[in-house]
Amino acid sequence: MSKIEQTLSIIKPDAVERNLVQEIKNFLEKNNLIIKESKKIHITKDEASEFYKVHQSKSFFNDLCSYLSSGPIVVMILEGENAIFSYRKLMGATNPKEAENNTIRKLYGISIDKNSVHGSDSKDNAKKEINFFFKS
């Protein structure tokens, strides 16, 4: 069954730094996702730790939070049919080396850390992550 959903997307520092924001936005829009909101921000390490707190027990947590706060990012609300799943498909596997052809991480990702984009992994997390960056 098709349903209109919203999900959160982050264009990470490596992609912002390489001026890939417009290219990634075009890719999303070409693939039927509507960019409802978009803003460029630079978060602190504490904010990154709060955002990624589900990963706090992981060995890579500290590096992950340092990285997300290392430079400007672009956060977006994407909307479309089955947006959560369809955006995750467009991103490709977490590790760019394992990502399928014609996915964002395959096209632009550098490494598992510098993998260019983040996307919510479930309906609950999409709601939480959208509220985190776009609370009114």
Pick the closer one to ligand CMP by CB: 63 or 136.
63
The region, left, alpha or beta by phi > 0 then psi within -120 to 50, assigned to residue 129 is: alpha
Residues 6 or more apart in contact with residue 132 via CB below 8 angstroms: 8, 50, 51
How many helices and strands (H and E) does the chain possess? Answer: 7, 4
Number of residues that bind ligand CMP (CB under 6 A): 8
With CB atoms as reference, the residue minimizing the distance to ligand CMP is 118
The answer to whether residue 55 is catalytic is no
Contact 37, 133 (CB under 8 A): no
User: Closest by alpha carbon to 107, among 35, 18, 42, 34?
Assistant: 18
Which of these ranges, 15-23, 25-33, 38-46, 109-117, lies near ligand CMP under the rule CB under 6 A? Answer: 109-117
x/- map, 64-83, ligand CMP, by CB under 6 A: x-------------------
Q: Is 115 in the site for ligand CMP (CB under 6 A)?
A: yes
Window 7-46: residues binding ligand CMP (CB under 6 A): none
Which residues are marked as active site?
Answer: 118
